[in-house]
Amino acid sequence: MNDYEKYMDSEMVYENKRILGNCMRNSYDFLMGNKTLEELLDQDGNPYFLWNVIDHDNLTKSTFEDILDVMINYYEEDEEYEKCAKLLKFKTNGKDEHREKVEETYRIREEGF
């Protein structure tokens, strides 16, 4: 691999990490109720998320819980344990008013429905 290829690889890794961080922050802020979807979509740059926030009909409960697990693992690796705790509480507390709103908005459904 020549120097240019090494440089391009490092730039791609940096860009992928930046996009992943953007996905995590936006998804976290939305799920925790820190920002509305409109606020996140109106911000400068590309508002990335871990799921298609525009498609309200194709998110199953198992996929939603997988997304929460990915976020918990990401913040654990980043040693942001407060965020991990909040996400875990959000995941396990099905009666949370904000979670119910998210599930209603995205019509999160059981598999096969």
pLDDT at 14: 85
DSSP strands (E only) in 1-113 = none
Q: Name the DSSP class of 52.
A: -
Residue 17 has pLDDT above 80, yes or no: yes
Cα gap 69→88, rounded to integer Å: 8
Instruction: List the domain boundaries for the chain.
Output: 3-105
CA–CA distance, 5 with 70 (Å, rounded to integer): 30
Predicted confidence at residue 47, as pLDDT, reads: 86
In sequence order, the 6+-apart residues with CB closer than 8 A to the CB of 104 are none
- Is it the case that residue 37 has pLDDT exceeding 90? no
Find out whether 23 and 71 touch, Cβ atoms under 8 Å. Answer: no
Q: Which of 44, 61, 47 is nearest to 100 (CA)?
A: 61
Of the chain, the percentage scoring pLDDT greater than 70 comes to: 79
Q: Give pLDDT, residue 113.
A: 43
Burial of 94 from C-beta contacts in 10 A (0-12 / 13-18 / 19+): exposed
Q: Name the strand (E) or helix (H) holding 99.
A: helix 97-105
